[in-house]
Amino acid sequence: LHMVLSIAENDGFDDIVSWQAHGRCFSVRKKQEFVDKILSSYFGQSKIASFQRQLSMYGFLRLTQGPDRGCYYHELFLKHKLYLCQDITRTGVNGNVVKRRVDPKTEPDFYSMPFVAPDPELPEYLLRFIKKEEPNEPNNGEGSSNITF
């Protein structure tokens, strides 16, 4: 998902799905186009409800008020901080997900927090992937150098 948001930003799909300016949540702006162009291509799904259920299983919450209303967030899912995603775990399996009630009074105000800044230097492989560049050096036959989903 993190990579898909980066690709969307670089390939001009940010009118469909994108990070909010502060980098702490993302928005699906055009649901049908998201399903047609992104869900089917990158996630192998054809229903927005399945995508939303997966987000819920991984602990994402949906904001219910304010300028980020309808956006999804997770405390470990931040723009420019791909390495944090490794600590996101699935919380439910086979319908045993306990849906957390959202209390609008406790929802975060991301605009009162510092905007998420890029790390000083992204790993070279990530930059190549985002920019769709080929590596400068051959991989010496050690498998494919392309990152896939």
Locate tokens 């959202």: which residue?
Answer: 102
pLDDT, tens digit, 9 for 90 and up, residues 9-32: 888 889 999 999 999 999 999 999
Give 1: exposed, middle or buried? Use CB within 10 Å, 0-12, 13-18, 19+.
Answer: buried
| Helix, coil or strand: residue 28 | strand
Whether the predicted pLDDT of 66 surpasses 60 = yes
pLDDT value of position 144: 34
- What separation in angstroms does the CA of 20 have from each of 27, 46, 62, 63, 114? 7, 24, 13, 12, 13
pLDDT value of position 138: 40
Q: 131 with 147: CB under 8 angstroms? A: no
Q: What is the pTM of this model?
A: 0.73
Which of 39-53, 54-68, 131-145 has the weakest average pLDDT?
131-145
